[in-house]
């Protein structure tokens, strides 16, 4: 089957169709399309009553509207479960698709379009849009708090629709401060956009630190300047001092109380030593117990871990969201157990300082773990070595996956 999708570059509305095609292993041809010219051509108008893109051309005819196109592609393979595995799940998928269209995309577009130059800035509209986006994200946050995906135990079209709608907002306007209350949404979004099927369509999605603003945001100030009578050139005003960048507390600790343990040297030892028992000997010889602390962590919701691949993906996402601790921590996270029985997430970490609070501040998902500071004794040393060195079994449970943060 040859499928042709007519659109213009960067159209977020086609992301969902292309991502669904990646999951279903369906090839989509993207013909060259000169929007200004081809949209008006008789040939194109004959393909669709709506006269707009996106448009999917199939052997049986054409399908218009981005949602209908994505649903069509998802339904081409029932075995992948993109539209749910049961009739009820299909209804849930449809519910979230409608939620995306009416509760999320409308306010996101009102916020984002003026920034992209596709609409005029309106302060009242922006305020309402932000309030509506907060409500929608809180709905998602509540639903995803104890769930990996929106419907069932796998990625469905519900996840694809909503994540696609959030790609540009996460890149341009949903900044670090705005995202802070929505840790479950952040975890879910990061898990999705790091899937190869998503990356094949949207690429990397760097999260914005400070939101971009629309050109019209300063229109009032500019107008006042334009209407004001000309004055004699005033003496140049002294510029206000730029705010200093806040230094990480652990960077301050490194500067004021340097540690005898070189964390990078330990990471090199761990990475390059074939026999990890030898690496552990080096570690215990160089450990600075006043400057560093050891911690064990256990996931609080292990009973929710029903699929091994999903649990392993969740741990990978957890480590990605811990990037701010890269200079101040080392750790190993293990997924133990087997499909069909208990699956647990557990880990052992080395932190600069004597607290886990910096980890929780850097990665909100760390709040979903119980952290226990280790008392240094022979029993603890053996347990740390087991976490950091064992490949097959940990505390009586088979190790299904092990990931190192270094």
Q: What is the pLDDT of residues 129-144, one digit of tens each?
A: 999 999 999 999 999 9
Q: How confident is the model at residue 245 (pLDDT cuts 50, 70, 90)?
A: low
pLDDT at residue 67 tops 60: yes
Q: What is the mean pLDDT of residues 276-302?
A: 94
What pLDDT is stored for residue 51 in this prediction? 79
pLDDT at residue 336 tops 80: yes
What pLDDT is stored for residue 225 in this prediction? 37
Q: How many CA atoms lie within 13 A of 135 on its CB side?
A: 14
**pLDDT tens-place string over residues 368-383:** 999 999 999 999 999 9
| The domain defined by 252-405 carries CATH number 3.30.70.1010 | yes
Q: From residue 294, give the alpha-carbon distance in Å to each of 190, 255, 348, 353.
A: 28, 21, 7, 10
**pLDDT tens-place string over residues 203-230:** 888 899 999 988 766 533 333 333 434 4
Percent of all residues in the chain with a pLDDT value above 70, rounded to a whole number: 91
| The domain defined by 81-202 carries CATH number 1.20.1050.10 | yes
Q: What is the mean pLDDT of residues 173-179?
A: 95
CB–CB of 142/99 below 8 Å? Answer: no
Domain boundaries, the chain: 3-79, 81-202, 252-405
pLDDT at residue 13 tops 70: yes
CA–CA gap between residue 162 and residue 108 (Å, rounded): 11
CA–CA gap between residue 64 and residue 295 (Å, rounded): 55
**Matching CATH number, 3-79, of 3.40.30.10, 3.40.1160.10, 3.40.91.10, 3.50.50.60:** 3.40.30.10
Report residue 65 as tokens. 């509207």
């Amino acid at each position: 089957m040859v499928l042709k999708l007519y659109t213009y570059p960067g159209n977020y509305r086609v992301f969902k169709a292309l991502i669904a095609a990646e999951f279903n292993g369906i090839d989509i041809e993207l013909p060259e399309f000169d929007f200004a010219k081809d949209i008006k051509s008789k040939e194109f108008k004959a393909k669709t009553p709506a006269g707009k893109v996106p448009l999917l051309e199939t052997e049986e005819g054409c399908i218009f509207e981005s949602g209908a196109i994505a649903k069509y592609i998802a339904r081409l393979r029932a075995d992948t479960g993109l539209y749910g595995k049961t009739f009820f799940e299909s209804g849930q998928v449809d519910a979230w698709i409608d939620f995306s269209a009416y509760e999320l995309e409308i306010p996101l577009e009102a916020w984002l379009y003026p920034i992209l130059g596709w609409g005029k800035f309106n302060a009242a509209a922006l305020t309402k849009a932000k309030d509506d986006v907060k409500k929608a994200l809180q709905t998602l946050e509540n639903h995803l708090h104890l769930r990996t995906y929106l419907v069932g135990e796998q990625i469905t079209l519900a996840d694809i629709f909503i994540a696609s709608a959030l790609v540009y907002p996460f890149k341009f306007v949903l900044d670090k401060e705005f995202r802070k209350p929505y840790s479950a949404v952040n975890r879910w979004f990061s898990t999705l956009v790091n899937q190869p099927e998503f990356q094949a369509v949207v690429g990397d999605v760097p999260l914005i630190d400070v939101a971009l603003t629309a050109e019209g945001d300063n229109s009032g100030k500019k107008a006042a300047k334009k209407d004001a009578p000309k004055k004699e050139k005033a003496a140049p005003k002294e510029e206000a001092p730029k705010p200093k960048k806040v230094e990480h507390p652990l960077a301050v600790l490194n500067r004021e109380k340097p540690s005898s343990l070189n964390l990078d040297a330990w990471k090199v030892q761990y990475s390059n030593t074939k026999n990890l028992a030898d690496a552990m000997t080096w570690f215990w010889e160089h450990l600075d117990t006043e400057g560093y602390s050891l911690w064990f962590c256990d996931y609080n919701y292990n009973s929710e871990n029903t699929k091994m691949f999903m649990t392993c993906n969740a741990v990978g996402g957890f480590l990605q969201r811990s990037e701010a601790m890269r200079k101040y921590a080392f750790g190993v996270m293990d997924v133990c157990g087997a499909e069909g029985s208990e699956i647990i997430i557990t880990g052992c970490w080395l932190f600069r300082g004597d607290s886990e609070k910096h980890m929780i501040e850097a990665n909100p998902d760390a709040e979903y773990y119980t952290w226990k500071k280790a008392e240094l004794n022979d029993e603890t040393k053996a347990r740390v070595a087991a976490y950091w060195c064992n490949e097959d079994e940990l505390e009586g449970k088979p190790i299904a996956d092990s990931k190192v943060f270094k």
